[in-house]
């Protein structure tokens, strides 16, 4: 059983993240439009549950998630929460109208343009501060630089390192859906935290091989996103998504095996999925991308659901999770 308001430091910084954080893809309109009122209600419910760690990005809702989060956080004492956003995408109007965004619905017309250069990152930070309408950002992540490693290190990292050395931000991170490049970042830069989405979950523990031990060694905190692997661990079955695509039969069968094993111990699969990452010493927080007040309340309840140690032993002994995965 976890507690949403429990806190861990982010790397060697003075910043602390609550065990349960709120990600803002859903309140930015991911897959379906969300109203201002529903978004505000979701954030207020998270706050009431003790959540003080908030993650956003220019890409989420093409600026709308940052605007909504900033409007909400302006109602709270500035030193009472930790705010993360990202760099690597500038929001610009396309030369020709493009219609509705492929992923974010009910959003402004701007679209993200990759830019991991030093100047592009400095511009991105200025524009994020304007959208947020807050005095500072606590954590800045380099956002999904999969095909841009060299520019990310030569440009984005140097910009963020400068902002950190000047005290304008508290922590430098990178957010990705893969662990391999995060290993390179950890070896060649001074990072405080990484946001790892979908690669350390009940279904997939490849990050145990190199990234997580390295982060323990270097005191780099891990923030976990995508604990339900795009929905497969929330509702396994035909049509379930994995990595934003339709899951294949093998993955669905494995998720169903996990579900059956959890239920034998009276534990919902979602409770096991949301709690599992927090047992690793590198992990500081799990982000939940709630869309509504009801979802964040449910996620908090799942985060606190009692889980017997015997269930984790069962999952390890049956090969459903890695024997190296700490889960006690």
Mean pLDDT confidence for 30-35:
94
Give the C-alpha separation, 276 to 262, whole Å.
Answer: 12
Mean pLDDT confidence for 270-298:
97
Cα separations (Å) of 38 from 68, 139, 170, 230, 274? 11, 26, 30, 22, 23
User: Is 218 a residue whose pLDDT tops 70?
Assistant: yes
Give the C-alpha separation, 235 to 265, whole Å.
Answer: 18
Of 31, 55, 192, 241, the active-site residue reads: 55
Q: Encode pLDDT of 313-328 as tens digits.
A: 999 999 999 999 986 6
60 noted as active-site residue: yes
Give the C-alpha separation, 57 to 217, whole Å.
Answer: 28
Mean pLDDT confidence for 27-41:
96
**pLDDT at position 274:** 98
Of 3, 60, 76, 209, the active-site residue reads: 60
User: pLDDT class for 4, splitting at 50, 70, 90?
Assistant: confident
**pLDDT at position 328:** 67
314 noted as active-site residue: no
Query: CB count, 10 Å around CB of 71?
Result: 17
14: Cβ contacts below 8 Å, ≥ 6 apart: 170
**pLDDT at position 259:** 98
Report whether 127 contacts 90 (CB < 8 A).
yes
Closest CA to 25 of 205, 195, 186: 195
Q: Encode pLDDT of 154-176 as tens digits.
A: 999 999 999 999 999 999 999 99
Q: Is 208 exposed, middle or buried (0-12, 13-18, 19+ CB in 10 A)?
A: buried
Encoding tokens for residue 136? 């500072």
- Across all residues in the chain, what is the average pLDDT? 96
Strand pairing category for 171-176 and 111-114: unpaired
User: pLDDT class for 1, splitting at 50, 70, 90?
Assistant: low
pTM of the model: 0.96
Share of the chain above pLDDT 90, in %: 91
119 noted as active-site residue: no
Query: CB count, 10 Å around CB of 154?
Result: 12
Ranking 79-88, 175-184, 198-207, 235-244 by mean pLDDT, the lowest is: 235-244
Give the C-alpha separation, 117 to 131, whole Å.
Answer: 21
Of 3, 76, 86, 119, the active-site residue reads: 86
Q: Encode pLDDT of 45-87 as tens digits.
A: 999 999 999 999 999 999 999 999 999 999 999 999 999 999 9
Ranking 3-17, 61-75, 132-146, 280-294 by mean pLDDT, the lowest is: 3-17
Strand pairing category for 193-197 and 245-246: unpaired
Share of the chain above pLDDT 70, in %: 99
Q: How many residues does the chain have?
A: 328
Report whether 21 contacts 7 (CB < 8 A).
no
**pLDDT at position 314:** 97
């Amino acid at each position: 059983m976890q507690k949403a308001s429990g806190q861990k430091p982010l790397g060697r910084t003075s910043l602390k993240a609550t065990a349960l954080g709120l990600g803002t893809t859903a309140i930015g309109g991911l897959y379906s439009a969300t109203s201002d009122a529903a978004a505000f209600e979701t954030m207020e419910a998270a706050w009431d549950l003790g959540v003080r760690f908030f993650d956003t990005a220019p890409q989420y809702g093409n600026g709308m998630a940052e605007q909504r989060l900033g409007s909400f956080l302006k109602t709270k004492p500035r030193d009472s929460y930790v705010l993360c956003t990202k760099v690597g995408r500038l929001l610009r109007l396309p030369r020709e109208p493009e219609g509705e965004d492929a992923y974010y619905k009910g959003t402004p017309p701007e679209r993200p343009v990759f830019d991991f250069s030093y100047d592009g990152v400095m511009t991105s930070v200025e524009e994020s501060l304007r959208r947020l309408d807050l005095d500072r950002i606590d954590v800045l992540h380099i956002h999904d630089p999969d095909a841009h490693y060299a520019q990310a290190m030569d440009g984005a990292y140097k910009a963020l390192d400068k902002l950190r050395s000047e005290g304008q931000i508290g922590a430098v991170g990178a957010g990705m859906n893969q662990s391999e490049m995060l290993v390179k970042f950890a070896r060649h830069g001074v990072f405080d935290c990484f946001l790892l989405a979908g690669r350390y979950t009940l279904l997939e523990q490849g990050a145990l091989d190199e990234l997580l031990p390295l982060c323990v060694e270097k005191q780099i905190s891990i923030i976990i996103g995508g604990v339900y692997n795009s929905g497969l661990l929330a509702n396994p079955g035909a049509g379930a998504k994995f990595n934003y695509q339709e899951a294949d039969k093998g993955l669905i069968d494995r998720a169903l095996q996990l579900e059956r094993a959890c239920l034998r111990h009276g534990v919902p699969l979602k409770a096991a999925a949301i709690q599992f990452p927090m047992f690793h010493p590198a992990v500081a927080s799990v982000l939940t991308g709630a869309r509504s007040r009801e979802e964040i309340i449910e996620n908090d309840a799942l985060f606190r659901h009692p889980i017997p140690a015997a269930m984790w032993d069962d999952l390890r002994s049956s090969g459903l999770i890695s024997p190296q995965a700490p889960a006690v």
